[in-house]
Amino acid sequence: MKMSLRNATLVACVAWFASAFALVDVASAQAPHPGMAIVDLSYIFQHHKRFQQETEGMKQEVEQREQYFKQQRDGLIQMVEELKRWKPSSPEYKQKEAQIAQTKAKLETDLQLQKKEFVEREASMYHKAYREIVDEVKLYSESNGVMLVFRFNGNMIDPAEGPQPNEVMKQLNKAVVYHNPSIDITPVILHRINSRTDTQGTANRTMPNGYPRPGVR
């Protein structure tokens, strides 16, 4: 039986549309999706060489200032003990009492100002390191076609310690439930930042496959 011209044309049209849609599906499947990545900021802060050096330096300075204020406080206590040697009505007592009040007020003011200075310096250190990390993430993303970077926490519950309530809640509140390790740019960003701190410059010549991340899955 011969196929009519109309039927042949219909079959040809159906075949053409089918092949056209197939090409569209293949093109859609092969089209690159906007790149996405994740970065563990907490991990980078913990292993940021310059930031850790600055933190350690500030810690030592805080300990020194604490020792200074302890000595000042001990001196004030000694002044109070010496005050007991005088009669409350004596001129010496009033003079010592005024001196103690003045010393105490100055010590409290100096202590508050010192605390404020340390808090502001610590905030500045964190902000500087954070901006450095963000700028490095931006530079990497623009160079590698990454359109969106999510922050995540790669820490997992330590099997040796068991599920602690606080840790379990942190796990439940994680925004990222699963990720393919290939989109974790944490090792790359950390390497780039620390390479500028490395005085020998060896870190600039090789790119590690990844930093050891205990407890990270």
24 and 49 part of one domain: no
Per the structure, the count of domains in the chain is: 2
* pTM of the predicted structure, to 2 decimals: 0.67
169 and 71 part of one domain: yes
CATH number at residue 114: 3.30.910.20
Whether 211 is in a domain gets the answer no
Q: Which domain holds residue 71?
A: 32-204
pLDDT of res. 196: 84
Beta pairing partners, 38: 150, 184
Whether 178 is in a domain gets the answer yes
pLDDT of res. 172: 66
Whether 212 is in a domain gets the answer no
Whether 167 is in a domain gets the answer yes
27 and 53 part of one domain: no
Distance of alpha carbon 28 from alpha carbon 24, whole angstroms: 6
Helix 91-144 to helix 49-83 angle, to the nearest 10 degrees? 170
104 and 9 part of one domain: no
pLDDT tens string 151-207:
998 876 565 666 666 666 666 667 777 778 889 999 999 999 999 877 544 444 344
